[in-house]
A and B are shown apart, each in its own frame.
Chain A
Amino acid sequence: MVNTKVNLCGIELDNPVIPASGTFGFGYEFAELYDINCLGTFSFKGTTKDPRFGNPTPRIAECERGMINAVGLQNPGVEKVISEELPKLAKCFSKPVMANVSGFAIEDYAYTCEKLDKEEQVGWLEVNVSCPNVHGGGMSFGTSPEAAAEVTKAVKAVTTKPVIIKLSPNVTDIVSIAKACEEAGADGISLINTLLGMRIDLKTKKPVIANKMGGFSGPAIKPVGIRMVYQVSQAVNIPVIGMGGVETAEDVIEYIMAGATAVEVGAANLVDPYASFEIIKNLPDVMLKYGIKNLNDIKGCAHNG
């Protein structure tokens, strides 16, 4: 028998597979297809202080081995997430859930995280620092070590649960940003968020997406994710969640070998609603195939190579 259990910031997961925020809603659509309690956990739809409709449509463009999205953080706002979504989720998911939080000002992050931290169902706070800072000239918080650290400190000051900072890959030095978050008190790092991308329609001669640019995800970005997890996990002493293009149990193992403690599955859930279920089902066999008895034995093993 193989052991798929991992420990993420003090909470044991049955397996390291975590559907990523924005690709799994609040779980119900998938709970109609399979028992989502098979998941390690999942990161729910990015939540903000106030309700957001998001960007105009079209919000989606297809790419070679991937997609671009510019949904723009559509969500009902933290009050409704707590009063409506979490009680509904409780009916189909009994494990601690990861609360994904976004903001456009430091105070917004702190406000939303403080509220969600008090919810019993929430096991971790995953803080998305890829949003533009409205008080900082629109630059994303995640593109400077100082701004990312400032968000981390503000959230840590008002919460008790593990705080995982989700980093943007659209930076020149991911390691310095990860280290700044760790020094500011982050309990974990997750990466990578989507790569900034764009497509143009040859017939209309215009960008496909109304927002012009969007986040590129899917299997095409996996090598970037693996590389960044490899770099960051060697530089910090807190758990790293790897993501970017995960479609198979082999991909999960590759991320763990790069140094990830757990692995998020994103766009694959949208193309194949059973993707996360299948990965979890296949993981023990793939572990056996590569002679892996315990995932912790291979964590970061590529660092020695």
Chain B
Amino acid sequence: MNQAFYNIICNKPLTKDVYEMKLEGDTSHITAPGQFINIKLDGFYLRRPISICDYDDKTITIIYKVVGHGTADMTTLGEGEKIDVLCGLGNGFDTSKCNGKAVLIGGGVGVPPMYNLCKKLLAEGKDVTVILGFNNKDEIFYEDEFKALGAKVFVSTVDGSYGTKGFVTDVLKDLEYDYFFTCGPMPMFKAIEKIAETSGQYSFEERMGCGFGACMGCSCKTKYGNKRICRDGPVLEREEIIW
């Protein structure tokens, strides 16, 4: 983990209320896909934890949804402004556990961390299928970006306005895979848990105080003992989760 000011080099809407922000600064503390950053915003007391969508040696891409006053304020930040960021938080996905065909399942704003994960798995020479779940056609983002990486991409929409009508599990049930990685809302997790036939990793969300393991605000019980979502997570292995 490090704390620094990052330059905003881009902050633009991808859909009505989902934005992509690119930051420039030290990325040396990022060790795995699925980690997150914690952003300090003027006028708000606690930081905002946001997953890392992609990164290279000097830039970070995050994708965030406007869900409250803080994220609404974030949309007003422009190119050239600086923001205070804690970077490289959480454990991230462990790709070494996946040998064989991987399926990546992202629901809504659970899609972004799948992007760098997809890149990494492809770079490791693995076969990757991606399922992106949204409510409707207007909410879809990053379908082309995933395709450009070279992954097989399926999209599901709840109202059937694009791709498979229904949920990510309506795609998943017909796929062959050896391991899964997922991030998204709890009802999606529970649906996956019911039908998944392999091991996998889930990335959880929880209200956090600090984001780096000091306050115990985001603890959960697992089969391997108490864990802090911010520090020991956000990624937990299927075998340890208590639903």
Is B207 a contact partner of A271 (Cβ separation < 8 A)?
Answer: no
Question: Do A74 and B213 touch (CB < 8 A)?
Answer: no
Contact between B214 and A24, CB atoms less than 8 A apart: yes
Which of A23, A45, A64 sits near B45, CB closer than 8 Å?
Answer: A64
B99 within 8 A of A: no
Could you tell me the distance between the alpha carbons of A136 and B52 in the complex, rounded to whole angstroms? 49
Chain A contacts for B120, CB-based, 8 A? none
Partner among A32, A60, A66, A270 whose Cβ is within 8 Å of the Cβ of B207: A60
Closest residue of chain B to A63 (Cβ to Cβ) is B45
Count of interface residues, chain A, beta-carbon cutoff 8 Å = 34
Q: Once bound together, how far apart are the Cα atoms of A267 and B217, in whole Å?
A: 12
Looking at the complex, which one of B47, B219, B220 makes contact with A271 (CB distance below 8 Å)? B47
Q: Which of A201-228 contact B (CB under 8 A)?
A: 208, 218
Are A273 and B212 neighbours in the complex by a CB distance under 8 Å? yes
Interface size on B, residues (CB 8 A): 25
Expressed in whole angstroms, the Cα–Cα distance for A54 and B214 within the complex equals 15
Does A29 have its Cβ within 8 Å of any Cβ on chain B?
A: yes
For B211-238 the 0/1 string (1 means CB < 8 A from A) is 0111111111100001000010000000
What's the least CB distance linking A21 to chain B, in Å?
Answer: 11
Q: Quick check: B217 and A29 within 8 Å, CB to CB?
A: no
Picked from A57, A63, A64, A270, the residue with its CB within 8 Å of the CB of B210 is A270
Which chain B residue lies CB-closest to A274? B3
- A59 contact set on B, CB distance < 8 A: 207, 209, 216-219
CA distance A256 to B138 in the complex (A): 58
CB-defined contacts of B45 to chain A, threshold 8 Å: 62-67, 218, 267, 271
Q: A64-B45, A218-B45, A271-B45 are in contact. Are A74 and B219 (CB under 8 A)?
A: yes
Task: List residues of B (80-96) whose CB comes within 8 Å of A's CBs.
Answer: 86
Beyond A60-B208, A60-B217, A208-B207, list 16 extra A-B contacts (CB 8 Å). Answer: A25-B214, A29-B213, A29-B231, A53-B221, A57-B207, A57-B220, A62-B44, A62-B46, A65-B45, A74-B226, A270-B46, A270-B214, A272-B40, A273-B1, A273-B86, A273-B214
16 A–B contact pairs at CB < 8 A?
A23-B214, A29-B213, A32-B1, A53-B221, A57-B217, A57-B218, A59-B217, A60-B215, A62-B44, A62-B46, A64-B45, A66-B45, A71-B219, A269-B214, A271-B45, A273-B1
Taking beta carbons and an 8 Å cutoff, which residues of B are in contact with A? 1, 3, 40, 44-47, 86, 206-210, 212-221, 226, 231
Report A's interface with B, CB cutoff 8 A.
Answer: 22-25, 29-30, 32-33, 45, 53-54, 57-67, 69, 71, 74, 208, 218, 267, 269-274
